[in-house]
């Protein structure tokens, strides 16, 4: 079984970001970049399937500026077999990403696409669902446990009420949540080996997709600073204050 793992290059989640003075976006100049944490979990799960003999090949793909190759090398060092870099200077949005991934799926013919449920930069949580719809495949989202057997995947999903277990037939798109596993650190020997693993370079035009954004972001603003709290003398005063603020 072949597994495809899309990964995204994002600002390191432990780095504090700032909004540009004109509100046009996030200033990422000179910031440390890393693999999206949810995608890192997806890579780890796919590599574990390969180690258990469930998967024969793990292919990872990333879409973005040429530096996405660095992110792909990280996935290769974790244990992926080869990588595909779709290079574009356009800030690609979820639907265009899903269309490019569909074209890659049609080329590679994987049985499972496993990916992070969302990216920590835009928090869209759309690409996996869009990809499944474009392919006409089954999907299981927010996976905290995945069991593969007999052409099916049993997935435990985290929902508001607790854990929901679903079973889908392969091929399928699966998006993962944080509690699925703990990603490994790439060892130095594996980092060196990753430099010799193949990375294919494509463009959106090679996949027949126009990456032009369909959505326009008007303005970015930082969250308002939290106001200081105050003590109240009674429950009545607390309720009155909450009503006045529109909380209840």
What tens digit of pLDDT does each residue of 200-210 get? 999 999 999 99
How does the average pLDDT of the chain come out, rounded?
Answer: 93
Backbone angles phi, psi at 120, to 5 degrees: -80, -5
CATH number at residue 38: 3.40.50.620
Q: Is the pLDDT of residue 84 over 90?
A: yes
- pTM (global) more than 0.75: yes
Assigned token pair, 144: 């905290």
Domain residues for the domain of 42 are 2-244
Lowest mean pLDDT of 51-55, 158-162, 178-182, 193-197, name the range.
Answer: 158-162
Count: domains in the chain: 1
Q: Are 156 and 163 in contact (CB under 8 A)?
A: yes
Over residues 11-32, the pLDDT tens digits come to 998 888 888 888 888 888 888 9
Whole-number Å distance between alpha carbons of 152 and 171: 8
Beta strands in 14-171 (DSSP E): 18-19, 26-27, 33-35, 57-64, 82-87, 112-116, 138-149, 152-159, 162-169
Write down the H helix ranges in 79-160: 94-108, 127-135
Distance separating alpha carbons of residues 17 and 104, to the nearest angstrom: 32
Residue 140: what pLDDT?
A: 96
pLDDT score of 58 more than 90: yes
pLDDT band for 180, please (50, 70, 90 cuts).
very high
């Amino acid at each position: 079984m072949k597994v495809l793992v899309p990964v995204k290059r994002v600002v390191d989640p432990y780095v504090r970001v700032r909004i540009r003075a004109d509100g046009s976006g996030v200033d990422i100049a000179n910031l440390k970049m890393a693999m999206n944490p949810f995608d890192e979990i997806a890579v780890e799960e796919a590599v574990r399937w390969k180690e258990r003999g469930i998967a024969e090949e793990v292919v990872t793909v990333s879409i973005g500026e040429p530096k996405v190759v660095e992110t792909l090398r990280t996935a290769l060092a974790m244990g992926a077999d080869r990588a595909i870099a779709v290079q574009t200077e356009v800030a690609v949005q979820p639907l265009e990403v899903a269309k490019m991934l569909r074209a890659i799926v049609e080329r590679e013919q994987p049985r499972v696409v496993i990916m992070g449920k969302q990216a920590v930069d835009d928090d869209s949580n759309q690409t996996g669902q869009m990809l499944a719809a474009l392919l006409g495949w089954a999907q299981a989202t927010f996976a905290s446990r995945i069991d593969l057997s007999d052409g099916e995947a049993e997935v435990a999903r985290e929902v508001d009420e607790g854990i929901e277990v679903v079973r889908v037939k392969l091929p399928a798109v699966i998006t993962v949540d944080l509690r699925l596993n703990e990603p490994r650190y790439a060892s130095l020997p594996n980092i060196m080996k990753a430099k010799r693993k193949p990375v294919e370079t494509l463009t959106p035009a090679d996949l027949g997709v126009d990456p032009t954004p369909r959505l326009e972001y008007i303005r970015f603003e930082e969250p308002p600073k939290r106001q200081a709290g105050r003590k109240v003398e009674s429950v009545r005063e607390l309720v009155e204050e909450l009503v006045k603020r529109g909380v209840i």
